[in-house]
Chain A
Amino acid sequence: MNFVLMFIEVLLSFIFILLFYKKYKEEGLYIISVILFILSIIFSLKNIEIMNLEIPLGIILPTVMLVVSNILVQRNGLDAIKKLTCILSITAIVIVTLLILSSLIIPSNYLYNTNIEYHELIKNNIRTIIATAITPLIVIWINSTMYYQLKREKNNVFISNIFTALIISFIDAIIFSILVFASLIPLNEIFIIIAIVYVIKFIISLFGTLIVYKTKNIITK
């Protein structure tokens, strides 16, 4: 069931990327990136089980964000990525601060347990929240630089996308897993999590290639 939901989540995100891109052009890509980024931080609060290992849900939407960054590089080059990274950094600082502050607000006696759960949820997952906020910033930068070089060498959407997906998904999985799980679980489990996260991210990135190709056609038109 969780895999079906993952598929729907990715599909829905891609549909909205195309929708925002068609309607708002470059601005739409920045906007959808910010939406995906904030939602990925919220998603990191929930863990799901894959092969008896707990994996935060926040791994899916940042991978979709990489697709958006590829579209931006394809369209506007590295300048757009500088702007995107800057916007996302500020968003990360604001959203993490506001989440922490909101959890510190004195809970009301109405629905007391729910209010306490809100506080506990953010307190217990602070490491995952920060990891989900930091990882995409690093990965988007590496991904875009690599994608841009490949684009200059050989302007082929499929080659650029698949090659970067192959490498970047791995780097992404390593950074994320180390930030979230280091010193919490045994090393061999971390390796298995890296492998699972890598496979999921790589598959999403492969689907994303079609979206980048589709948007390239829109640019050409």
Chain B
Amino acid sequence: MCLILIIIFITIFFSYKYLGKLGLKLSLILLTILSFIMSFKIGLFFGIDTNISVIPYASIFVLLYILIEKYSAQEIKKDITLTIKTSIFTTLIFLIFISYTQSVNDQVIINIDHLIKLLPILSTFIILPLSILLTTKLYKYFNKINENKYINIIICTIAFALIESIIQSILSYFLVLNINEIMNISLANYLFKIIIIIVSLPFINLMIKKKVIS
């Protein structure tokens, strides 16, 4: 988990350093698609069952806070639209992907249709754009009340991520897991989202101060 997070941060850092805002946009796209792909697996992090997509998913919000702090509201609106469009395209492409008839030999080894399911795709498709929109509004609202942006980021995550994790887990595992298991996963997702955001605060600070190399 730590290694994946470090690689994501290094990618964001260098893509911003050399490509500027385009680098941040590309990182946002990369993380959005990774959230879709990784949502198919539940892993054990420090002995806790969690959907592994929590890593790219939380990183999207790290990136979102960096974007909000660095760019104007109008540019953020463009970036949110971009994420929504990417989500739509990815979802549609995944739907086509599921519909292809897999070769018979391949099915004997691993039937990919057992792995790539519709529910996690749809839940990410619905929840991700909504979360980004609401988090942006919530963060801007907190910024008006309190000047300390780092506290605002933590409050925003604590306040919003729980509802988001529960809805996302219910949508992803509805009728697949029982309610106790779904709640365990959603609470674990919530916990890891908060941890990732808190761990990322120095990185957010670094990125806000960072200048682009032309």
| In contact, B115 and A118 (Cβ under 8 angstroms) | yes
A-B residue pairs in contact (CB < 8 Å), sample of 11: A1-B99, A12-B96, A16-B85, A35-B90, A48-B102, A49-B103, A49-B104, A54-B103, A108-B42, A110-B177, A111-B42
| In contact, A121 and B97 (Cβ under 8 angstroms) | no
Interface residues of B (CB under 8 A from A): 1, 3-4, 7-8, 11, 14-15, 19, 22, 25-26, 29-30, 33-34, 37-38, 40-45, 49-50, 52, 82, 85-86, 89-90, 92-93, 96-97, 99-106, 109-112, 114-115, 176-177, 181, 185
Report if A199 contacts B (CB, 8 A): no
Cα-based distance from A47 to B97 in the complex (angstroms): 11
B22 interface neighbour in A27, A97, A109, Cβ under 8 Å: A27
| In contact, A118 and B41 (Cβ under 8 angstroms) | yes
B112 interface neighbour in A35, A101, A106, A121, Cβ under 8 Å: A121
A117 interface neighbour in B8, B92, B104, B114, Cβ under 8 Å: B114
A138 → B minimal CB distance (Å): 21
Cα-based distance from A49 to B99 in the complex (angstroms): 14
Contacts beyond the supplied A47-B106, A49-B104, A115-B41: 10 A-B pairs with Cβ under 8 Å:
A8-B96, A9-B93, A13-B93, A42-B33, A46-B106, A91-B30, A106-B43, A106-B44, A114-B115, A117-B112
A205 → B minimal CB distance (Å): 19
A55 → B minimal CB distance (Å): 8
Q: Is the interface of A mostly helix, strand, loop or mixed?
A: helix
**List of A residues within 8 angstroms of B49 by Cβ:** 108-110
Nearest 10 A/B pairs, CB to CB? A105-B43, A108-B42, A108-B49, A49-B103, A118-B41, A47-B106, A106-B44, A47-B103, A54-B103, A117-B115
B121 → A minimal CB distance (Å): 12
Cα-based distance from A114 to B43 in the complex (angstroms): 11
| Closest partner residue, chain A, to B92 (CB atom) | A12
A142 → B minimal CB distance (Å): 24
Q: Is the interface of B mostly helix, strand, loop or mixed?
A: helix
**List of A residues within 8 angstroms of B43 by Cβ:** 102, 105-108, 115
Cα-based distance from A31 to B106 in the complex (angstroms): 32
**List of A residues within 8 angstroms of B181 by Cβ:** 110
Report if A120 contacts B (CB, 8 A): yes
Number of A-B contacts (CB under 8 A): 147
**List of A residues within 8 angstroms of B106 by Cβ:** 46-47, 54
| In contact, B4 and A114 (Cβ under 8 angstroms) | no
Chain A CB within 10 Å, residue with most, of B22, B45, B110: B110
Cα-based distance from A47 to B111 in the complex (angstroms): 10
Report if A187 contacts B (CB, 8 A): no
B20 → A minimal CB distance (Å): 10
**List of A residues within 8 angstroms of B96 by Cβ:** 5, 8-9, 12
Cα-based distance from A147 to B30 in the complex (angstroms): 28
Chain A CB within 10 Å, residue with most, of B1, B29, B93: B93
B38 interface neighbour in A35, A102, A110, Cβ under 8 Å: A102
Please judge, given known A-B contacts A39-B90, A114-B40, whether A31 and B25 are in contact too, CB under 8 Å. yes
Cα-based distance from A138 to B43 in the complex (angstroms): 35
| Closest partner residue, chain B, to A40 (CB atom) | B93
Cα-based distance from A18 to B111 in the complex (angstroms): 34
Q: Contact mask A12-32 → B, CB, 8 Å, 1/0?
A: 110010011000100100110
| In contact, B4 and A101 (Cβ under 8 angstroms) | yes
Cα-based distance from A98 to B104 in the complex (angstroms): 29
A36 → B minimal CB distance (Å): 9
**List of B residues within 8 angstroms of A184 by Cβ:** none
**List of A residues within 8 angstroms of B115 by Cβ:** 114, 117-118, 121
Cα-based distance from A46 to B105 in the complex (angstroms): 11
| In contact, A54 and B105 (Cβ under 8 angstroms) | yes
Cα-based distance from A35 to B92 in the complex (angstroms): 13
Report if A217 contacts B (CB, 8 A): no
| In contact, A43 and B97 (Cβ under 8 angstroms) | yes
A200 → B minimal CB distance (Å): 14
